[in-house]
Structure formats: structure tokens, C-alpha cells
A and B are shown apart, each in its own frame.
Chain A
């Protein structure tokens, strides 16, 4: 494939960032906004062309005659050469999941760009906002097409930085500033683990390239290459640390980076606060793209994870706990964006669990395909829900559902699209969420009925809290809206909603298994109606029915439930006090126990030695000053004696 189009996919957003960042303040809001939209739109078209070429062109570079999809490196440029073998490259890797992700990213990003024209209208720093959006899109695209783990790390950090900039967009608001710092520090902390994992992995294997870890063998399946089929494992053999093999450590540490970005327990605390950013940003970064980077990371290294079941088990457990926790908390939040944030955490945990339970021996790693499928459908309907929430916030100027109610009459487009989003996430056929969630549940049941039952319960909770939210916003009791009745946004805001709703209606029918599977071998999806699908529909319908009873009309039932729950409601409402625990640990234990001694060491030992060096340098500098006397005779004498001395000393050293 011609590298021009893939290169443009990366360059256009970067160019957009540079243009808007450097020249944006000279443009009008309108010009800057439309420039951003057009740039992203072009990128989206190019990404579609690339993905379509990859999936449907039947080129021998992309697909074998037997129909197995291949990994293909479009270009790979040496960037920094440390040694002959340890080279950091920047390139573009095309394979099923990267082709999928560039489609998701550019689509959502384009919708958000368009939507923001209406949502951010008249905001101070409009051009800056668009510049950051472009930067984020660039970093995210660079991340998913990375050919090696170091490139991924570079863009991973860029994504973190642009997310920081966007969360803190309203930098005059203290809550936004602290939220952006929180997000940055928590994910940075997780990335420390990621970096150590990368170092261990590359130290042992001597390579950064993904194709060395996971490449096509015999044209039939991805397998771990690196000289021999089990080359990597061989290199790790015997190396253990604290009872676990070094490979497990590397993989778990790498997963830690994914836990940070994907907001898995216990590193989830930044995501709800990140809702301080503008709502379209939440839709783009904190629902559809950046937060799934962790899932993408695990999927990218999946063949490697397969060699270490312990690491996959770890992922499953973390995902399952997170999914349940976030779903419970989502049932009790007042801020509609926080409900969606916790719902996002829960849904990403679904994807993680799905990856964790995937094994080649169960239906060709159904879980892997299911996870990517859910990533795709979730990105669409969650972005839809967030953008819908943005339209609501835009209309009533508050984030809390207490300020909403009965809005179905005033905002019909938002209402219908939001309802479609809710139905999709609740798993009601024929909406997209049903299909992907069904595959995840099937994968869980194949591994063990425990995971299956657990995740089915979480799916029920999902349906409940989403419809709780839906009823509280659109039905319940209508507050006094005053003179300005809420209304639907301008067409630039409605159009993305309608588009995403349409996608959410039909995306489930995409034959996903033939496009994405862990080893490139097509897999045909079949729905197990009696075993999995029907029970999960029944659970979802029951949960929706419960939500209907409790929240359709204003009544005292919810309050009674809250009172009767013996503090559970309060605990969930306060997110089970995770933030307080963190505050306690950081302020009381880390600051006092660790930071103070370090500060002392820094002030006295480090600064002391630096001051000493400075003092020494100053003294010496004054001492040798007479050398530079300004008299040319002295210069020549010193020159001559210098030359003679050089010869004499060397002679003495060499001959004696």
C-alpha cells in the first residue's frame, strides 16, 4: 500500500495542531472551528480508505489466500539508534485492530469536532480548544498504529498530555485544574509501571517491535516469533522475581499502564473527576478513545499474554471487580456525566474481562473478538450518550439530573437518540450493544460459569442505572425552567447525535468475527439464543422494568430504598470512599513518611553538593583569572610552555 495516505492520516491532525496552535489566535472562531472540522473530516475519509483497503482489497500483503488476515508494516523509520540492535522506530502498522481503531478514532473525533462548533460557541479559547483536539487525535492515531512498544509509549504519553490539557481547558476553574492534575498524576504513576515493563521486556528480548512479539507464522496464525516459535519464553526461562516469572512481571507491569489509562480499580479515581472538561472532550477522550487504550494495549500484546496465564487471570479479576464496583456506584450518582463516567469504567472492564477469559482453546479466543467488538460498539453508543448529555447540559446549564426532568417534550431529538444509546448499552436487540455484550458473556461462560454469572449481573445493573438516568432526565418531575424553555441544539450538535444513533442501531449486524480475530483467521459469530442471549435479555428487561417502576413518575420509592439499604447507598454515592483513602495514603503516609526524608535529602545532600560544586567553580574561576591577562606576550609564553609541557609530560608518562 502506498504510504502517502497512512502518512497523511498522521500528518493532517499534527498540521492542524500546529496551524491552530501557532496561528489560531489570528483566526476567527468560525474559521478555526471549520478548519478543524475539515482537517478531521479529511483524516476520517483517509482512515476509511485505509481500513477498507486493508479489510476488503484482498491484497496479498493483507490477507492470505486462505482468508487469514496479516500484520502489515506500511513504513518504519529508524528514529533513535542506541545500539545496532536497540533502535527506536516510528512507523505505521496495519492489522485488524489498528485498522478498526483508526476508524473509531477518526469517526468519533470528527463527530466531536462538528459537535463542538455548536457546544463551544463563543467560549474563550475556542481556537486553543480545537488545537488540543487535533493534538489529541494525532497522538491517539499514532498510538494505535505504533509498530513498536516504544513508539506506543511515546504517543501514550502524548495522549496523556493532551488529555491533561483538555480536562484543564477551563483553567480558571479550580476544580478543572485539580481534576486535570489528578488525571495526569494518576495515569503518569501507572505509566511508570508501563515503562518498567517495557524495559524488562526489551532488556530480555532485545527488541521493541510488535512484529517480533506477535507475528504471523506459517501464514496461519499469530505466534510469538523472535527466532524460534517460543523464542521469547525461552529467553525468559529461569528468570524469576519474587516467585513469579520475569515475563509475568513484565506483562503485569505493562498492564498497569493500561489500568491507569483505562481507569481500572484501583487507579480509576481520575476518570470521574475528568468530567470537569468540556463535555465533547469527555465523549472523545473519556468514553470512546483514550480510555480504551489499555484494552488496546492488552489486545496488541495478546499472544504474549497467552503465554502467561497468570497475567490474564490478573486482568480478569481486576476487570470483574471494577465492572461491578463501577456499576454499583453509577446507580447512585447525581451528576449525569459522572453516571456516564462510571458506566464507562464498567463497560471497559467488560472488555478487559473478555480479553482475560479469551483462550485459543475456547472457540478460537472468542473473548478477543468480543472485546474488540464491544470496544467498537461502546465507542459509538457511549459517545452518543455523552454528546446527548452535552446537549442536555447545554440546554439547562447544569450537570445534575435534579435540574432536569420531563425533557422529552422539549428536546425530542436528544430524547430519541439518548434512548437509543440507553437501549444499546442495556443490551436490548437489535441495538449494537446486545450483540457485543452477548459475545462477551458467551466468552465468560466458556471460561467458567462464575465469570458468566458475575458479568450477567453487572449487565443487569447496567440496564438499571442507564434507565434510571434516562427516566430521571426525560420523565420524572418537571422543574421550573422559567422563561427559557430548553430546546435541542443547533444542527451541528444534532447531526452527530443522529449519525451515532444510526450507527448504534445497525453496528451489531457487522460480521465482526470475519474482520477481527486474535490470529487473523476468520471466525463466524453465532448467537447462543437459549444459553446466553435469552437470559441476558430477560435480565435486562427486568432491570429496565424495575427502573421504570422506580423512576418514571416522581415518587418516594427511591428514597425509601436508599434509607433501607443500611448505608450502602451513601457509601456508593461517595464512591466507596476511594478518594478519601487515596487522600489518607498520600497525605498522611506518603507525604510524611517518604516525602519528608526525600525532601531533606534533596535540600541538604543534593543541593549541598551542587552548591559546593558551584562554590568550587566560582573559586577556581577567580583563581585562574590572571591567565587571561590581555597581554599578548603572556599569551605566547603560555602557548609555548603549554606545547612543551604537553610533549614533556607525555614523554615522561610513555617512556617511564
Chain B
């Protein structure tokens, strides 16, 4: 075996190194210095993230007989996820240093890093075995993380629901895989792609695809595979919820695109374009309809994130390089916008324990800065210009329609646009209750912790800068278009 292949996995190995440092520190260092763990992890991860951007121009490399692949585009999506994880780490610092959490501080970081490693594998895997390892690695530790609030009933309930659904979805996914294996005789993406190219759209292939889509759709919480989302988001500790909603979703979306475009690219217009078509409409609409009537902020954001996942899928359905660029940009923007909202929620929860939208009334009076960040986040999620969310939506619509003359896709974008109007209602409900309420504020004036503020500053800067500065999208687009859809991910 050629051990130099491991060099292709620079990002994974660096991540594992961080994991080991954190693990060893947590296990062997005296109790007194353990409070420094969150700082150390964050700094290490920040350095890792920065270093990752140095690898952006990395080459296309493959290892382990083509099971593992990396390319500039893949390095970029990993970097984007790193940025999100970094913000999550910063935002979770004050929660991790709280009294109840301090005994389990180390576990949180270790599990989080392991799941991120799994997501890396999902993105880079070009063999379904490796993919499944990544998928499980990214799913199972999350169940433990969801159950972190040991003394809270909802946390346990959420963990159990997550666990059961995850196991079930894995089963469905594997079933789909076994059909694929049956049809093609291989688990390599390349071989599958070439075999599927020779096949007609036969029932077995369609069922196999449906099961594969259902399996990954669980991680993305596409309707109707989304039902766990709201309960889990609500029950899990907020830091875990924010991690679940952006990082887990972002990585799954990219991996999903790789599978569909790479393995099943030849049956795009025959089969999975229409499957996605239906799923997108369902996901956006049902997510919106549920979000309309929520009062708990985390539950509200759960449904909002379901609907956002539908928009992310629009980047896949175009099956072109621009769609891929817009999907990556959407994930990046979504990371900043959603984490801004979760940052505020977490800051308020840590200080007051309040989580309901009605508790946020007149927040502007007592905590103007928090209200302002929340407003930016809501504007960005709703897609109001000039904030980043507007441009990410704009580009993802452009990506879906680029190079197509299909009327159906125009109809799809129209439906997505109508849903944007509906979503405006519930996003602005939050803003309304924060700014336009006449009653006295419930939440008292407080000063959030330094880490919380840093996190919110980063998110605010991101939401504004990504909207106004064209560099980010342009560089992603250039990267994707230069290599083309398939070359970028192969």
C-alpha cells in the first residue's frame, strides 16, 4: 500500500489531529485547566480554518483506488463548513462553560469534531462504503449531542426520536444501495455512473433512486422525511440545534448533489429531476405552512430550515455548474444568517431561559443590539436586498434556470417565489414583535458574553459583506465554471 495517499486527505488528517489534541487534553489534563478547553479548541479550529483557505487552490487528487477524492471545489465546500463550525464553536463557548455543562464540555467538542469528520467523508467519498461510514459517523454522535441536556425531558425525547429515525433512514438508504449494487454490480460512483448510463429507466432503478433520495433526504429534512426535525431542534441544546441546522444540512446537500449528478447523471431528466421537483415543492411549501404558526423560536427555525432546504435543492435540480456554485454560496449565506439568529437565541436563552417569540416583544427597547442582529438575520433569511440572503436566493434561482428552456422549471421557480412571500410573513413576525410591540419588554437589558458578541459580529459582517461584495460569489462561480460540474466533483 502506498502510504503517500494519505497526503491527499490533508483536511481530514488535520481535523483528526485537532480531535486527538482535544481528546488528550480533556482526558489527561488536571481539572483546573479544563476551563481553557473551549478557548483552545476554538483557536485550534480557527487556525485550521485559515489554513484550509490556503489549500483552496489544491489539485484534484484521489486516493485509495478512487474511493476518496478531493478537488478545489471540494476543498472550498469543506472550508465553507469550517467557517460555520468555527462560528458554532464560538457561540457555544458560554454555554459550555455553564455550571451544568462544564462536566461534559470535552465530549461536546469531541463529538462535534467527529461528526464533522464524517461529513468530510460524505463529501469526498466516491465509493458508497466510504460514504456510508461517513454518513453514520456524522449521524450517530449527533444523537448523543442531542441528548446533552441530561436533566431535560425534551432532550431525551429528541435524542430517541433522532436515533430511531436515523436508524430507519439508514436502513432505507442501504436498501436503495443494495438495489443499485444489484443493477450495476459495483459501489464505485464511477462504475455506477457508467452502468446506469447503459440502463433504461426501469422500475428497480427508480425505486433504488427513491430510497437513496429518501436516505439522504433525512439528513436534509426534505418533506416527507422531515418529521423528526422540529422535535429534535426544539429538544436539543441550542448549540447542537444550530450545528444540526446549518453544518449537517450543508454537508448533506453537497453530498446529495455529488451522488445525483455523478452516479445518476445519465437519468437526470428521465427520473430524478421529477423526483426532486415534487420534493422541492413539498418541502418549501410544507415547511412554510408549519413555520407560520410556531411560537417557540427553535421550532420556528426548524421549519424555516426545512423550507430553506427546499431552496438549496433548487441548486441541484438545474444539474449544472452554476447551480453548484449557487448551492455553495447559498450554504455559505445560510450559515451566516441562520447562525446569527441562533446566536441571538442562545445569548437570550443562556441569560434568561426564554425561548418563545412572544417573549421577544419589544426586545429593541431592552437589547437593541440583539434585536438588530436578529432583524438582519430575518431579513437575510427572507431574502430582502441588499443582504446576503437576497443574492443567494437570486443566484440559486438563476442557477436552476440557467441553460434550460423547460417551462416546468420556470413554474417551479415561480412556486418558490410565491413561497418566499409566505416566508416573509413569518420572518417579519419576529421583527414585528421585537420592534413594533407597544407593551413593555419581557427580557431585561443584559450584556451578552464576549464570545457571543464575537459570534454575532462575525455573522453580521458576513450577512452584510456577502450581500455587497461580489468577490465571494464570483470566485466560487469561477471555480465551478472553470472545472465544470462533473470535473469539479470527480
Tell me if A77 and B227 are in contact (CB < 8 A). no
Q: With A638-B224, A650-B275, A653-B274 as given contacts, are A624 and B290 in contact (CB-CB < 8 Å)?
A: yes
Inter-chain contacts of A649 with B (CB < 8 A): 278
Tell me if A642 and B214 are in contact (CB < 8 A). yes
Inter-chain contacts of A577 with B (CB < 8 A): none
The chain A residue sitting closest to B468, CB to CB, is A79
Nearest-neighbour CB distance to chain A for B315, whole angstroms, equals 16
Task: Specify which of A77, A79, A646 lies most central, judged by the most chain B CB atoms within 10 Å of its CB.
Answer: A646
Closest 8 CB pairs of A and B: A647-B210, A642-B224, A643-B214, A635-B227, A647-B207, A621-B289, A646-B210, A79-B470
- Contact of B486 with A by CB under 8 A: no
Give Cα A643 to B160, complex, Å.
Answer: 22
- Contact of B450 with A by CB under 8 A: no
Q: With A635-B228, A636-B168, A639-B224 as given contacts, are A646 and B290 in contact (CB-CB < 8 Å)?
A: no
- Contact of A530 with B by CB under 8 A: no
Tell me if A621 and B425 are in contact (CB < 8 A). no
Tell me if B227 and A638 are in contact (CB < 8 A). yes
Give Cα A347 to B224, complex, Å.
Answer: 70
Give Cα A651 to B418, complex, Å.
Answer: 29
Inter-chain contacts of A638 with B (CB < 8 A): 224, 227
Q: What would be 19 A-B contacts, judged by CB atoms less than 8 Å apart? A: A614-B425, A617-B288, A617-B292, A618-B292, A618-B293, A621-B290, A628-B290, A639-B214, A640-B168, A640-B172, A642-B214, A642-B225, A643-B213, A643-B214, A646-B210, A650-B210, A650-B271, A650-B275, A655-B201
Nearest-neighbour CB distance to chain A for B10, whole angstroms, equals 31
User: What does the 1/0 interface line of A608-620 toward B look like (CB < 8 Å)?
Assistant: 0010011001101
User: What does the 1/0 interface line of A28-55 toward B look like (CB < 8 Å)?
Assistant: 0000000000000000000000000000
Tell me if A628 and B224 are in contact (CB < 8 A). no
Give Cα A264 to B164, complex, Å.
Answer: 74
- Contact of B422 with A by CB under 8 A: yes
Inter-chain contacts of A646 with B (CB < 8 A): 210, 213-214, 275, 278-279
Inter-chain contacts of B44 with A (CB < 8 A): none
- Contact of A567 with B by CB under 8 A: no
Inter-chain contacts of A635 with B (CB < 8 A): 161, 165, 227-228
User: Contact residues of B with A, CB < 8 Å?
Assistant: 160-161, 164-165, 168-169, 172, 201, 203, 206-207, 209-211, 213-214, 218, 223-225, 227-228, 230-231, 270-271, 274-275, 278-279, 286, 288-290, 292-293, 418, 421-422, 425, 470, 474, 477
Inter-chain contacts of A622 with B (CB < 8 A): 293
- Contact of A65 with B by CB under 8 A: no
User: Contact residues of A with B, CB < 8 Å?
Assistant: 77-81, 610, 613-614, 617-618, 620-622, 624-625, 627-628, 630, 632, 634-636, 638-644, 646-647, 649-651, 653-655
Inter-chain contacts of B279 with A (CB < 8 A): 646
Inter-chain contacts of A632 with B (CB < 8 A): 160-161, 164-165, 228
Inter-chain contacts of A618 with B (CB < 8 A): 292-293
Give Cα A130 to B459, complex, Å.
Answer: 29
Task: Specify which of A81, A628, A641 lies most central, judged by the most chain B CB atoms within 10 Å of its CB.
Answer: A628
Tell me if B206 and A77 are in contact (CB < 8 A). no
Give Cα A638 to B214, complex, Å.
Answer: 11
Q: Which listed residue (A80, A613, A627, A651) contacts B470, Cβ 8 A?
A: A80
Tell me if A650 and B168 are in contact (CB < 8 A). no
Give Cα A643 to B208, complex, Å.
Answer: 10
Tell me if B289 and A617 are in contact (CB < 8 A). yes
Q: With A635-B165, A651-B203 as given contacts, are A628 and B210 in contact (CB-CB < 8 Å)?
A: no
Give Cα A144 to B225, complex, Å.
Answer: 55
The chain A residue sitting closest to B425, CB to CB, is A614
Tell me if B230 and A628 are in contact (CB < 8 A). yes
The chain A residue sitting closest to B289, CB to CB, is A621
Tell me if B289 and A620 are in contact (CB < 8 A). yes
Nearest-neighbour CB distance to chain A for B388, whole angstroms, equals 13
Give Cα A640 to B211, complex, Å.
Answer: 9
Tell me if B421 and A647 are in contact (CB < 8 A). no
Q: Which listed residue (B165, B278, B422, B477) contacts A617, Cβ 8 A?
A: B422
Tell me if B206 and A654 are in contact (CB < 8 A). yes
Given contacts A610-B421, A642-B214, A654-B206, 14 further A-B contacts (CB under 8 A): A77-B470, A614-B425, A630-B231, A632-B160, A632-B228, A636-B164, A639-B227, A640-B172, A641-B224, A644-B210, A646-B214, A647-B211, A650-B210, A650-B274
Give Cα A628 to B232, complex, Å.
Answer: 12
Give Cα A653 to B270, complex, Å.
Answer: 10
Inter-chain contacts of A77 with B (CB < 8 A): 470
Inter-chain contacts of B288 with A (CB < 8 A): 617
Nearest-neighbour CB distance to chain A for B349, whole angstroms, equals 22
Nearest-neighbour CB distance to chain A for B429, whole angstroms, equals 12
Q: With A79-B470, A639-B227, A643-B211 as given contacts, are A624 and B286 in contact (CB-CB < 8 Å)?
A: yes
Q: Which listed residue (B161, B207, B225) contacts A651, Cβ 8 A?
A: B207
Q: With A613-B421, A621-B292, A643-B172 as given contacts, are A81 and B224 in contact (CB-CB < 8 Å)?
A: no
Inter-chain contacts of A641 with B (CB < 8 A): 224
Nearest-neighbour CB distance to chain B for A646, whole angstroms, equals 4
Tell me if A639 and B168 are in contact (CB < 8 A). yes
Inter-chain contacts of A634 with B (CB < 8 A): 227
The chain A residue sitting closest to B211, CB to CB, is A643
Nearest-neighbour CB distance to chain A for B316, whole angstroms, equals 16
Nearest-neighbour CB distance to chain B for A533, whole angstroms, equals 52
Q: With A81-B474, A613-B422, A617-B422 as given contacts, are A636 and B165 in contact (CB-CB < 8 Å)?
A: yes
Nearest-neighbour CB distance to chain A for B178, whole angstroms, equals 14
Inter-chain contacts of A647 with B (CB < 8 A): 203, 206-207, 209-211
Give Cα A655 to B203, complex, Å.
Answer: 8
